[in-house]
């Protein structure tokens, strides 16, 4: 079908079994960006079969040979930086520096994975027996199902796929239904690179297609980055199934701690970046600011001042700080949480849920606009608004008294444990936080967003099992073998175990 972009299966563009299509829309204008075939479980079956068929030949290549395909992708990402950055911005609404950073993060991940192909892999391990050589070696697990979110529509797919592929797995990928255009471009890049048929497969679509990947017995590993709700379902489904594995990275109710020893310029800057970049739609965004009573009033005045005036607008314009939310349903969700906070009795300081008409740029009336919502709440109250992830510019100020122990207790008063930051000039406070905050990603005197790809990315508690990027993703997509080779003609056992065979003849 020429009127809708297709799936990419076994090296071909295919319409698939389903009759339905869906559209990608620009969240800042409502404009339609393209129509895409909606994948069905039958399309996933076909893609998994292609990936399973391609596995033996792909794994037989050296890691360095496999990485060659990724280097082609790396160069294309770099060469098309400006163009792709603008596409990211048009499709997911992040302001343009973020759109471009998404593409940069993608090539960083590709560079890491392809460069890693020439690094030593596995371990040489000592043996008690001098004649034995022992090693830890890795094997690819097979078909890897990748399910990725819309907020990093180019970077996160490469977190999963670059590593899975270099390690020798084949891939079936379902991008978020909000960002199929980015998905299409990534598939074109693999096609341009000449990746062998069936090694990389794309099925566009919704949760039913994602679920078909999760439920497919031939998908050895599922890599998932997205909502806690879906991630926990995946973990539950695969948790008890022998031979299958899920590596999930989910959300957070992240916090920035500002102590009485903070440099308030750093504190305010870090808090604004953490709470409002990407319009609060990063899984690492901060929705809680835990601020010591001694600096609370000044911090509050400065933070509120910026929240009232932060530039919301056309994400393609260089002077915009916050673009729109991803889709109308998400606007509904965020505005409901803003209402809920009021109903829970918090003290609202800034409410830009509905922007004034003059704040909305011309021609962008149909965008999913929202501004900051900032309030102060009792840190000890059991409120939904201060404990549930909103995924928007919805921020609670929580005032605390006492030492760093109290701040960290509040930081940890959440089911999640993804990202967080402390702002302080006191190294003892910083180190206490470093050692006791329950987090996968923690920062001192910085925002809690903006991790680099060579760090592990992932959380603890309800935020996931900490796998889906860099070295940790290698753990998810490979199995280890402890391999021991005897160089002697005699069998000798470790642990003093006798190797003598005794018979009744002896």
Catalytic (active-site) positions? 249, 283
Q: If we measure between CA atoms, which residue out of 424, 63, 45, 34 comes closest to residue 217?
A: 45
Q: What are 153's strand-pairing partners?
A: none
Q: Which is nearer to ligand UN1, 142 or 458 (CB)?
A: 458
Q: Do the Cβ atoms of 226 and 391 come closer than 8 Å?
A: no
Q: Cβ contacts of residue 34 below 8 Å, gap of 6+?
A: 4, 5, 23, 24, 180, 181, 184
Q: DSSP labels for 357-370?
A: GGGSPTT-TTS---
> Residue 133: is it exposed, middle or buried by C-beta count within 10 angstroms (0-12/13-18/19+)?
middle
State the nearest-atom distance from the C-beta of 440 to ligand UN1, in Å. 11
CB of 473 to ligand UN1, least distance (A): 14
**Which positions from 431 to 470 touch ligand UN1 by CB under 6 A, shown as an x/- string?**
------------------xxx-------------------
H or E stretch including 269? helix 264-276
Interaction between residue 105 and ligand UN1 (CB under 6 A): yes
**Residue 216 binds to ligand UN1 (criterion: CB under 6 A):** no
- Rounded CA-CA distance 186/155 in Å is 10
DSSP state of 277: G
Compare residues 152 and 296 and give the one whose CB is closer to ligand UN1.
152
Q: Which is nearer to ligand UN1, 151 or 424 (CB)?
A: 151
Provide the minimum distance between the beta carbon of 101 and ligand UN1 in the complex, in angstroms, as a whole number: 8
Measured between alpha carbons, how far is residue 266 from residues 262, 282, 395 in Å? 8, 21, 18
Could you say which residues in the range 260-299 bind ligand UN1, by CB under 6 A?
A: 282-284
Per DSSP, the three-state class of 167 is coil
- Residue 152 in the binding site for ligand UN1 (CB under 6 A): yes
The minimum distance between CB 491 and ligand UN1, in angstroms, equals 52
Interface residues for ligand UN1 in 59-98 (CB under 6 A)?
Answer: none
Least CB distance to ligand UN1 at residue 334 (A): 16
With contact defined as beta carbons under 8 Å apart, do 370 and 335 qualify? yes
Q: Which of residues 154 and 360 has its CB atom nearest to ligand UN1 in the complex?
A: 154
Contacting positions for ligand UN1 (CB under 6 A): 105, 151-152, 282-284, 449-451
């Amino acid at each position: 079908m020429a009127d809708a972009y297709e799936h990419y299966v076994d090296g071909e563009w295919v319409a698939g079994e389903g009759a339905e299509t869906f559209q990608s829309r620009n969240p800042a204008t409502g404009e339609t960006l393209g129509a895409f075939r909606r994948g069905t479980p039958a399309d996933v079956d076909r893609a998994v079969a292609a990936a399973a068929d391609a596995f033996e030949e792909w794994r037989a290549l050296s890691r360095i040979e496999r990485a060659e395909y990724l280097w082609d992708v790396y160069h294309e990402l770099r060469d098309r930086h400006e163009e792709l950055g603008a596409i990211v911005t048009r499709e997911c609404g992040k302001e343009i520096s973020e759109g471009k950073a998404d593409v940069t993060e993608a090539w960083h991940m590709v560079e890491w994975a392809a460069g890693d192909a020439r690094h030593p892999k596995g371990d040489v391990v000592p043996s008690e027996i001098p004649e034995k050589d022992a090693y830890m070696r890795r094997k690819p697990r097979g078909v890897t199902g990748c399910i990725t979110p819309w907020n990093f529509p180019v970077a996160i797919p490469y977190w999963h796929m670059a590593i899975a592929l270099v390690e020798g797995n084949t891939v079936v990928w379902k991008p978020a239904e909000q960002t199929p255009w980015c998905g299409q471009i990534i598939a074109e890049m693999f096609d341009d690179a000449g990746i062998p048929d069936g090694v990389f497969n794309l099925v566009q679509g919704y949760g039913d297609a994602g679920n078909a990947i999760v439920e497919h017995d031939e998908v050895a590993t599922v890599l998932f980055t997205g909502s806690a709700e879906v991630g926990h379902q995946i973990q539950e489904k695969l948790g008890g199934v022998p031979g299958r594995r899920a590596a999930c990275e989910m959300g957070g109710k992240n916090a920035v701690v500002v102590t009485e020893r903070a440099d308030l310029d750093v504190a305010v800057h870090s808090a604004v970046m953490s709470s409002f970049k990407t319009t609060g739609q990063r899984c690492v965004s901060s929705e809680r600011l835990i601020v010591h009573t001694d600096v609370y009033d000044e911090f509050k005045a400065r933070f509120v001042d910026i929240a009232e005036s932060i530039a919301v607008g056309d994400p393609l314009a260089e002077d915009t700080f916050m673009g729109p939310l991803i889709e109308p349903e998400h606007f509904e969700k965020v505005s409901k949480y803003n209402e809920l906070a009021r109903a829970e009795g918090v003290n609202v300081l800034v409410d830009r849920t509905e922007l004034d008409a003059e704040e909305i740029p011309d021609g962008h009336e149909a965008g999913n606009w929202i501004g900051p919502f900032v309030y102060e709440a009792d840190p000890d109250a059991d409120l939904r608004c201060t404990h549930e992830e909103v995924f928007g510019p919805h921020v609670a100020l929580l005032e605390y008294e006492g030492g760093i122990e109290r701040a960290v207790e509040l930081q940890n008063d959440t089911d999640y444990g993804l990202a967080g930051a402390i702002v302080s000039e006191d190294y003892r406070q910083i180190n206490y936080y470093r050692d006791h905050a329950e987090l996968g990603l923690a920062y001192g005197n910085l925002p809690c967003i903006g991790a680099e790809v060579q760090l592990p990315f992932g959380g603890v508690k309800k935020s996931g099992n900490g796998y889906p990027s860099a070295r940790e993703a290698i753990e998810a997509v490979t199995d280890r073998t402890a391999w021991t080779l005897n160089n002697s003609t005699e069998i000798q056992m470790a642990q003093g175990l006798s190797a003598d065979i005794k018979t009744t003849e002896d």
